[in-house]
Amino acid sequence: MANPLVVLLMGSDSDLPTVKEACAVLQDFGVDFEAHVLSAHRTPDDLTAFVRRAEQSGVRVFIAAAGGAAHLAGVVAAHTTRPVIGIPIQTSALGGLDSLLSTVQMPGGVPVATMAIGAGGARNAGLFAVQILALADPSLAVKLQEYRAKQVEQVRQNDKKIQTGLANG
């Protein structure tokens, strides 16, 4: 492992399309990260060893995405005191409610910052990681301000488009 600030873990390669949303945010902000498939259930020993190594190599934030009986974020949190952000993957069986509840309902003492189900949650996971890093990195804090300002501008433009569309019937 090089020295990434953020590590993204996913329980299966089938989670990758969602996880890519978080990767895109980290890339946009110029944050070094690594992404790996590691499963709390299928590769428990590899997961534990990885988290220990990652902590030693200086990883500041973990992001963990999993679906169904989604214990990945919780198990990562059990092995580190660094912040862990959970992404509940949308599932075909239960729409992701299974993933959400099994990620968010951590016992007191071992927190996981759980995002919303699916792509929006994954984007927010990336942003939340940037927000944590920005506490000690003023240049990232500036980029976050710019990101928000762009978002405001985008919504205002969308509103204008809608107003024009309504006025023209």
Applying CB under 6 A, the residues found at the interface with ligand RP5 are 11-12, 14-15, 39, 66-68, 89
Q: Which is nearer to ligand RP5, 4 or 67 (CB)?
A: 67
Q: Which residue is nearest to ligand RP5 (CB)?
A: 11
**Taking the complex as a whole, how short is the minimal distance between the CB of residue 158 and ligand RP5, in angstroms?**
32
Query: Do 150 and 110 touch, CB atoms closer than 8 A?
Result: no
Q: Which is nearer to ligand RP5, 9 or 129 (CB)?
A: 9
**Taking the complex as a whole, how short is the minimal distance between the CB of residue 86 and ligand RP5, in angstroms?**
11
Q: Give the dihedral of Cα atoms 145, 147, 153, 159; nearest 10 deg.
A: -120
Q: Which is nearer to ligand RP5, 69 or 155 (CB)?
A: 69
**Taking the complex as a whole, how short is the minimal distance between the CB of residue 52 and ligand RP5, in angstroms?**
21
Cα distance between residue 34 and residue 32, in whole Å: 7
Both structure tokens of 15: 């989670």
**Taking the complex as a whole, how short is the minimal distance between the CB of residue 97 and ligand RP5, in angstroms?**
13
The CA-atom distances, in angstroms, between 109 and each of 27, 29, 36, 99 are 32, 31, 26, 20
Task: Please enumerate in sequence order all residues whose Cβ is within 8 A of that of 106, keeping only pairs 6 or more positions apart, or say none.
Answer: 74, 77, 112
